[in-house]
Every structure is written in C-alpha cells, then in structure tokens.
Amino acid sequence: MNKNIIEELANNLNVNIKNVENTLNLLEQGNTIPFIARYRKEVTGGLDEVQIRTIETEYSYGVNLQKRKDEVKRLISEKGLLTDELVTKIDNATKLVEIEDIYRPFKEKKKTKATDAINNGLEPLAKMIMSFNISGSIKDIAKKYLNENVKSVDDAILGAEYIIAEWISDNAGYRKQIRYLTYQNGKLQSKLKKGSIDELKTYEMYYDFSEPIKYIKLYRVLAINRGESEKVLNVSIDIDDKIILDYLYSKVIKNDNNKELVEIVSLAIKDSYKRLIAPSIEREIRAELNEKAEDVAIKNFNDNLEKLLMQPPIKEKVILGFDPAYRTGCKLAVLDKTGKPLKIAVIYPHEPKCEYEKSKETVLKLIEDYKIDIIAIGNGTASRESESFIADVIKDSTRNVQYIIVNEAGASVYSASSLAISEFPDLHVEERSAISIGRRLADPLSELVKIDPESIGVGLYQHDVTEKKLKESLNFTTLKIVNQVGVNLNTASPSILKYISGLTKSVIDKLIKFRDENGMFKSREELLKKKILSDKVYEQAVGFLRILNGDNILDSTSIHPESYTATKKVLDYLSLDLSDIGKSEFKDKLSNVNKEELAHKLNIDIYTLNLIIESLISPNRDPRDMLPSPILKKDVLHLEDLKVGMKLQGTVRNVVDFGAFIDIGIKNDGLVHISKITDKFIKHPSEVLSVGDIVDVYVSEINLEKQKVSLSMKPLT
C-alpha cells in the first residue's frame, strides 16, 4: 500500500491513519463494505459505509494518479528531458489535469501550424524573437529563413508566431493561472439558439442568461447542459480577454525595448489564447462544473432514495392496491397481511365508460369480503379522480377504511419486467402494477428493490448525469439500506437478496432452490451444514439474514454467529437467560449495565458489546419503525378548497436544490422554496427535509390557472 496516499487520505477525511490502513486491508481481503461497517468496527474505529466507500474510491483514484505520474516521468525521461524541477512539479500535482498540463509540451504532436513551421526550419527564428535580444530589423533576419515552403518574410514571421503561440499554450504554469482567472472572473452564459424550438418554454429563463462561474447554482449547469444538448441553447464562457492577455503579456514579454518584437510576440499571445488556450480552458471548466453538478445531483438523489427506502412498512394490514386509469379501467389487487395477492379486479368509474355506481359496488364488496384496511392509490394518470371516487366509496363502507396516495414511479417499469412476469405470469401489466402499488405501502423496501433505483423518480436531472456513475451510486445506497435493515431468510425474494453482503446470483439461486425443496430454514447454521454458502460468503452474509421463530433466537437478531460465544458470556455474567428475552427485567438489566466496565471484564470490544446489548433488548428491531408513518386519509382536498394562510399537513415527496415538493393531498404537489423552509440560513433543503417526512405547511400562493400552489413552512405574517 502507498503510505503517502494513505496519509493524504487520512488528513482529507479526518480519519486515523491506522484506521485507513486497516480498512484497506479488510477490503483487499475480500470483505464487503456492509460487513466491515457492521462487524469490524473495532478494526476501523467505527467507520460507516459511506466513509469506507470514500476510502476505497479515493485510494483507487490516488493509486491511478500515482501511476500516471510515474508514466509521465518515464515518458519524459525517455526523451532525455526529465529534470529535478519537472519531477517536483509532477510529484506535487494533485489532479490529473495538472499532470497533463506538465506533460503537454513533451507529447508527440499531431500536425499543427506550429509543427509545420518547425518542419520549415523556423524554430531558430522563433527562439530569436523570444530572446528579445536582436540588433537590427527582424525582417532582415527573417530573410535568411526563406525557402521553397517559406516564400516571404511575412510567412517566416507568421510561422515563428505559430511556434511561439504553441510554446505559450504548452506552458503548464500559464494554463493553471488562466484556468484560475477564468473561473474567478468568467461567466457562464446561454442564449436562445437561432431557429430553435422550445414549445413548452422549458428553458425560457436561459434564453439570455449569464452568471459568474464561481457563484453559479450547480443545478442550473445541468439545466443549461440539457438545453444545449436539445439544441435550444448556445452556451459559452464569457470573460474579459484583457484580464488574461495582461497576465500573459506580463509573463511572456521580457522587455519592451524592441517594439517590433513586442508586436510580433503580442500577436502570438493573442493567437495562443484565442485559438489554443481559451477553447481548451472552456472545455475543462465546463467539464469541472458538470462533474460538480453531477456529484451534487447524485448526492441529492441518493439522500432522497435512502429516505424513500427507509419508509416504515404498514404491517398487519389488508391492502387494496389501486392502479388508476381512464379508458383501460382501474386495476385492483387485494393483498393479504403478507402482501400475497388474493383477488384481482377491474373497474371503470371514469370516462369513457363512466360505470361509477357499478364500480362503487365492486369496491365496497371487496372491502367487505376481504376486510380491507387501507387503499393504496397510485399517483399516475387519473389519480385524483380515483381519489375522489375512493373517498366517496369510503363514506358508504361499514368498515373503518382509509386511503393514501402512493408514488408509483417505476411501477410500470417493474410490471413489464421479466421479474414481474416470472412472479405473476398469468396477469396483465396493469394488474401487476396494482400489486406493486399495494406492496409499496406494505413493505416499501422489499418492493422498491425490484426496480432500478434511477427509475424510482426521487431526484432531479437524473437523465443529465453520467448513467454509470448514477447507477453505481444508487446501487450502493440500496445495498447500504438493505443490509442495515436485514432480511427474513425464509421470505426474502431474489430481488432483495441480491443486495445482501456477499451473495451472488448463483448463491441466491442455490439458496432459493433449497428453500423451495426443503421448506423453511430453522437456523443460520444450516447454511453451512447444507453447504449452501461457503465459509467466506457465510461470514459476509449471515449477519444480515434473519430467521424468525427458528431453533436459536439469536438467529433473528443482528448479532453475528461469530459473536454468539461473547453473547453467552454477557448473559452468564449478568445471570440472564435467553428464554426471558423481551421481558422488562431482562431489558432493564441490559439497559443499565456499565458497558465500558463489562467490555473490559469480558474482553469484548465495545462496538461488539453495544451491538449484542442493543440486539438483545430489541431482537427484531427494524430501524424503519422509528420513522413517522405515512398520512392516511378519508376525504379528498381540492385546490379550490385552499386559502392563503391555511395550515396543512403533508408528506415530503422530493427534495431538490431549490426547495421541496410536498404532497398535501391535491392533484399536484406544492413547492416549498428553500427560502421558506426555515428562518436559519441553509445551503440545501436536505439540511432540514427528507423524503417521507411529515411536515406542517402554510399555503402562501395559489395559481388556479396553472393548478399550482406555493407553500411555506414558516407561519405567514
């Protein structure tokens, strides 16, 4: 391992060097990030999944950076041009772009105006001009360099200018400073492209837009990029050339005694900047802005996805999944308390059939026959009309039925997938969608893992960021959440098992096959005894696999089997018995123990002891249960019912850079602008709000024409 990279990484992350080394060693040994984060805290100093992943990716970047440094030094050395000064510059570079700047003058060049001039023998003339130490006229000197390819004195001087321009462009120091000056003083600007069509005026605010690069909001960068790719906008970086040219004059022109030479070099400087440097710097800065904007957008998407996946399940309820539609009818799926479909039906309460009363009778009968508790309505086409219909149905029901609008983003993707077809081969796409909508309420995590994370729709500009980068990041978030929650080994689907630490498709297929042929697992130990998992896979996965009502109650907890002996030591020391788990006396004794003292006496590290005690106090603890339950409703709210100043309760559906969208029960979610979230200064709404949060809001503005409402979390004065 590279000690220098590790030291730099530890400093940047404010983490102990030893912990970084230990983490990298664990990763090198084939341990997964969830396993390390949960069961090797004593080795890493308690680092979480995000910190461990950062160490992994940043170390990899550092290694690749060092490889490129070594390669550049080798390439320059082979030319016999490597100096101590160059070695120092290369070693001190912290970004790949800096290394490439240093290497630029030594690269084998393609055919350029400068290479042509050099081939025509004009390099000595260029060197003379750059010496600023010529007696007599440069034109007289230039005559000596005329040949069959250089016909005139003007051609000779122009060729020398091209060579000087390329020298200036290849200077790493100049480029670094020009990049800095452009970033500090330049503006990103966009204009409406001549002849372009923007029917919905999506990019209207960018038709004549300009903002300083150093202050620009990063989400605007992605919007502008999209407008450019759709050929609506022309985008460029605007800067006062004088700032750059004055800098170059001060660096390149050694003295101004010879006006003739100054004029030639000044022309070369202008040509170098306009033709060679400016376009390159613009590409680099826009690429850097785009990378930063992507990172922010992906982080925002990750944060929202994490909160969505952590939404608490609605347990022990019979649910009616309701997929709204007009012409093709609303698809219904009755799900039992485990999420198993009991009945599929289709009704036509809306246009064009308008079988309102018949549809009402059908739903009332389903409610009565299957004792339905909650109706989950998808938020797609005809959602609000369906909400009005269901609110009317509920009024005539003898049962205490409630409903909720469920975000169905990605449900259609899942319903048409090979996975959905294998689960429900005899059902139509829309019928599968109704099941998915209902299950999203019963157990959001188990259902949402069936869909590619980028199709879930809780981000902004997900189509404008690098697909691979987004996918990898969202998959990591899903992996983290699934392992934090854990799964029931006897009921978990292949869709959720694929995110469990250490499990591969072949292992999952083997596990499912064994379960189908032999029935429920009775213990974690069976996974080894029946040779379903290898020793290494067992080590990585078993702590996240739960067995409820099995032979050993510890198998239902987060305690890893490697710590069962330590758990017994704790129980014996405190004179406790596993048969008393769940009793108040049992919990009290564990809650009041001096952990530091106990860890020392029993020679158990404090992290493992904490996990043992927490798991014994709450063996079936689900971290999602600590979060607020979704808002269930019985009646519908219309935009026309709202008044400015009205206080409402809503659910956060999406958090974006400029605010948050809140479902308050009307057709379109209301927007709380970042300025109306809190009285405190915040850089991003995610500092205060998360997807799934239940919040109080006030109606601040109503636009009936656009069917939009603006909200505030601060009481209106």
For residue 664, pLDDT beyond 80: yes
Considering only CA atoms, which of 629, 640, 628, 200 is closest in space to residue 384? Answer: 640
CA–CA dist 617, 37 (Å, integer): 21
Q: What helix, strand, coil percent values describe the chain, rounded to 5?
A: 55, 10, 35
Confidence of residue 236 (pLDDT cuts 50, 70, 90): very high
The predicted model gives 493-510 an average pLDDT of: 95
Considering only CA atoms, which of 37, 17, 16 is closest in space to residue 26? Answer: 37
Determine the Cα angle at 308 with ends 694 and 689, to 5°: 45
Check if the beta carbon of residue 35 is closer than 8 Å to that of residue 543.
yes
Check if the beta carbon of residue 352 is closer than 8 Å to that of residue 381.
no
Tell me, what's the pLDDT at 459?
65
The predicted model gives 308-328 an average pLDDT of: 93
For residue 411, pLDDT beyond 70: yes
For residue 173, pLDDT beyond 80: yes
For residue 191, pLDDT beyond 80: yes
Topology of the domain covering 319-442: Nucleotidyltransferase; domain 5 (3.30.420)
β-pair partners for 696: 649
Distances in Å between the alpha carbon of 636 and those of 345, 367, 404, 665? Answer: 24, 19, 10, 7
CA–CA dist 117, 463 (Å, integer): 46
CA–CA dist 363, 332 (Å, integer): 9
Q: Which residues of 465-474 are buried (b: 16+ CB within 10 A; e: fewer)?
A: beeeebeebb
Angle between helices 595-602 and 606-617 (to 10 degrees): 120
Check if the beta carbon of residue 73 is closer than 8 Å to that of residue 83.
no
Q: What is the DSSP letter of 633?
A: B
Query: 136 vs 400, which has greater pLDDT?
Result: 400
Instruction: Name the superfamily (CATH) of residues 639-712.
Output: Nucleic acid-binding proteins (2.40.50.140)
Domain ranges, ordered by start, for the chain: 3-106, 319-442, 485-625, 639-712
Place of tokens 């498709």: 505
AA letter at 81: L
Tens digits of residue pLDDT in 378-399: 988 898 899 999 999 999 999 9
Longest dimension (CA), the chain: 108
CA–CA dist 547, 492 (Å, integer): 11
Instruction: Name the superfamily (CATH) of residues 485-625.
Output: Tex RuvX-like domain-like (1.10.150.310)
Contacts of 624 (CB under 8 A, 6+ apart): 310, 311, 312, 313, 445, 485
Q: What is the DSSP letter of 372?
A: -
Q: Token pair of 507, please?
A: 């292992």
Confidence of residue 460 (pLDDT cuts 50, 70, 90): low
Confidence of residue 170 (pLDDT cuts 50, 70, 90): very high
The predicted model gives 531-560 an average pLDDT of: 96
Distances in Å between the alpha carbon of 654 and those of 61, 304, 305, 441, 469? Answer: 32, 7, 9, 17, 21
AA letter at 148: E
Q: What is the DSSP letter of 333?
A: E
For residue 273, pLDDT beyond 90: yes
Topology of the domain covering 3-106: Arc Repressor Mutant, subunit A (1.10.10)
For residue 304, pLDDT beyond 90: no
Give the ranges where 272-370 is alpha helix by DSSP (H).
278-309, 356-370
Tens digits of residue pLDDT in 355-365: 999 999 999 99
Report percent pLDDT > 70 for the chain. 99
Using DSSP bridges, classify how beta strands 694-703 and 708-712 pair: parallel, antiparallel or unpaired. Answer: antiparallel
Report the run of H or E that residue 406 belongs to, with start and end: strand 402-406
Contacts of 503 (CB under 8 A, 6+ apart): 497, 511, 537, 541
Q: How high is the mean pLDDT of the chain?
A: 92
CA–CA dist 508, 492 (Å, integer): 10
Residue 672, Cβ density class (10 Å: 0-12 exposed, 13-18 middle, ≥19 buried): buried
Tell me, what's the pLDDT at 16?
94
Tens digits of residue pLDDT in 104-141: 999 887 899 999 999 999 999 999 999 998 888 999 99
Tell me, what's the pLDDT at 445?
92
Tell me, what's the pLDDT at 189?
97
Place of tokens 């001039």: 117
